[in-house]
Chain A
Amino acid sequence: MIRALWSWLRSAGGDGASRTRSRETGLWVRAVYAKETLDAFRDRRSLLVMVVLPALIMPVVTLGIPYLEQRQQHEIRTTTPEVAVVGEAPHLVHLAYTTKLIKPVHTADPSKALRERRVLAVLDLPKNFETLVARDEQPHAGVLYDQSNPDSVAARGRVVELISRYSQAVVAQRLIARHINPKDLLPVVLDQRDVATQRQLSGELLASLLPFFIAMWAVVGGMSLAVDEAAGEKERGTLESLLVAPPSRESIVLGKFLSVITASVGAVLVVVVAMMVSLRWGYPYVMHTSQKLDVSLPLGTAIVMFAVAMLFAALMSGVQLALSIYAKSPREAQQFITPLYFITVLPALAVQYITEWQTSSWAYLAPVLNTFFAFRELLLGTVNWGHLLLASVSSAFYAALAVEGAIYLMSRESVIFRT
């Protein structure tokens, strides 16, 4: 491809023959592209996977998971967990009732009840607990809970809170009895305030979702076309007719590559739009908040992101096409492409946990990873133009390498007639 571009540029100012040649190359690329795109549009299945599926699935995925999480949180906040209390402590129990932190119950075998999840925790108090407290001793209380059960872990938190409040009340009584102001124990009061704007919060939300879906659909969107256009032609017995026609291997591969990248970018666009729409209008509706999420991106950021996504899609399309050319059959092509899917989705998920690499220039030269670091910067609004340039140039280079590899494979008779 690099060679093709170079000869194209050179022939623009060159003699008549090379100008005719580059004109023909243009015609061939267009002919192959038009045919492959038409063919793909007639294929209901690939259209379904590329357009309909993401449009339906994205709202469910972007809203469903936060909704379920919110529902669970809400449940934990509003229900009072039943906790078995062993031992007598009327004041503590009274506090539990008035604060509604836990609902004390009596059971014969508290450990068994906990194991069977009839109670969510057990508060184990020593004999004469409140007498010991009144005598200024330091009795030990125990809480039993089940780490594997999130509701039990929440109940443990409630017990800790209850004991802490009870202790504060006791401390206050003791201090007052000694004529000391309880405030003396708190020389500093800390007020906390969150300064993250709505834009940053939604940026973080987008940064955790968008790269993953872009990675996924950049691969999935172009997959059926890539498989069909090379391995599929081998299987149908149409490849040989194409190769005995005048177009150079370069023009054939370029035409096919462009149609794969169109599908890939198309699928990414559908997914991103579906996600933005569901976050913007679906989020407040589903999440019981009056606040709308500000997921609108500044136009400039959106354009730069699109360009970065396109370079990534180019790399994916080039690699998929090369694998498909190498494969003997569509089935084999699918098998080759599946690992590619995991290779791209894993870094997309991982970037948010390896943020320490974000400042190193090398991270912006690594294929695939560079794209996701660039996305993160763009979405969080911490853009470093040097990083972006590195990521774009290196992505373009890898994509060109992949296409060059596809052309090489298409020119190898041992690959074309691989059996």
Chain B
Amino acid sequence: MRIAPDVGPAERAGPTPPAEAQRLLVEARDLQKRFATYHAVRGVSFNCYAGEVFGLLGPNGAGKTTTIRMLTTILRPTSGRARVAGHDVVREPELVRRSIGVLPENAGVYGRLTAREAIRYAGRLYALPADALERRIVEIADALELTQHLDRLTDTFSKGMKQKVNVARALIHDPAVVFLDEPTSGLDVISARSVRDFVLRFKAEGRCVILSTHVMEEAERLCDRVAIIAGGRIRAEGGLDQLKADTGKELEDIFVTLVEQGTVT
């Protein structure tokens, strides 16, 4: 169990440029996705390393979710390739799935199951042995402050609590790579804050975190590097400080400028 209770936002490391020693965990090369009537992603490339939070920033419909779905093997890229945790997403999808934890956008819960049962179900899907799984549920619930609610039906939970259950489900198998698609959307301030704390925890534990958001403040607080996506293309990519220094603007201004350009081109 790598979630260490004493790691908080205060210990957040500064923007870490990918050192040679760091493991490359997500590698996207010219990913494209064309649906029947819509060209959603038109060539997205980026790298993400262990111990790094990589932000996918973009307005609604920019292609963030489609990109994440290609990297998590549930959409097949029209062209381009991607490797996650060393495995090709098209040729070895099952190996990829074993190494990733995913919190999809607007993820729901099984309302008629208790939190413990829901998390246990996730653990069984990763074929964790029963006794190890029960220990892991207790540990993870402890870290997420879910312990006293473990045996309540998730239907009775607040939105923030439901999100915690989904975080626990995504992390049950201790994945090296975590995908979070708009993890704080629809949450109140307190719940959003605790989700952000987990993101920093994941990073401190050396996981590679890919986070999609359209909230600039969130990106600034959490991400080491960001890619700004609009119209299915990456308009800018780099460390936050570097982006600001290059343009002499605040992140939100950079974002608005790029997105407006994106809608014109």
Contact = CB atoms under 8 A, between A and B. Distances in A.
Contacts of B32: none
A246 B109 contact: no
Contacts of B100: 244
Given A24-B127, A245-B97, A413-B75, A240 B107 contact: yes
A301 interface: no
Interface string B66-86: 000100111110000000000
A242 B127 contact: no
B112 A241 contact: no
Interface centre among B108, B112, B125, B126 (most CB of A within 10 A): B125
Contacts of B74: 240, 243-244, 413, 416
A241 B169 contact: yes
Interface string A23-64: 010011011101100110011000000000000000000000
Chain A: number of interface residues, binned into ranges: 20 to 34
Interface stretch (B48-56, B116-124, B245-253, B256-264): B116-124
B98 interface: yes
A70 B153 CA distance: 52
Contact of A35 (B98, B102, B121, B170): B121
B47 interface: no
A298 interface: no
B113 interface: yes
A80 interface: no
Contact of A248 (B94, B98, B113, B122): B94
Contacts of B122: 241, 245
Contacts, number: 77
Given A248-B94, A413-B74, A413-B75, A241 B107 contact: yes
Contacts of A73: none
A417 B66 CA distance: 11
A237 B108 contact: yes
B124 A39 contact: no
Contacts of B18: none
Nearest to A23: B127
Contact of B109 (A34, A38, A236, A247): A236
Nearest to B112: A42
From B94, B121, B170, residue with most partner A Cβ within 10 Å: B121
Contact of A246 (B106, B126, B153, B169): B126
A24 to B, nearest CB: 6
Given A31-B121, A241-B166, A246 B98 contact: yes
A245 B216 CA distance: 30
Contacts of B166: 241
A415 B111 CA distance: 24
A28 B123 CA distance: 10
Interface in A217-256: 236-238, 240-248
Interface of A: 24, 27-28, 30-32, 34-35, 38-39, 42-43, 236-238, 240-248, 413-414, 416-417
Interface of B: 36, 69, 72-76, 94, 97-98, 100, 102, 104, 106-113, 117, 121-122, 124-127, 153, 166, 169-170
Given A27-B124, A413-B75, A414-B36, 6 more contacts: A237-B104, A238-B107, A241-B122, A241-B170, A244-B72, A413-B74
9 contacts: A28-B124, A31-B125, A42-B153, A238-B108, A240-B74, A241-B104, A242-B125, A246-B94, A246-B125
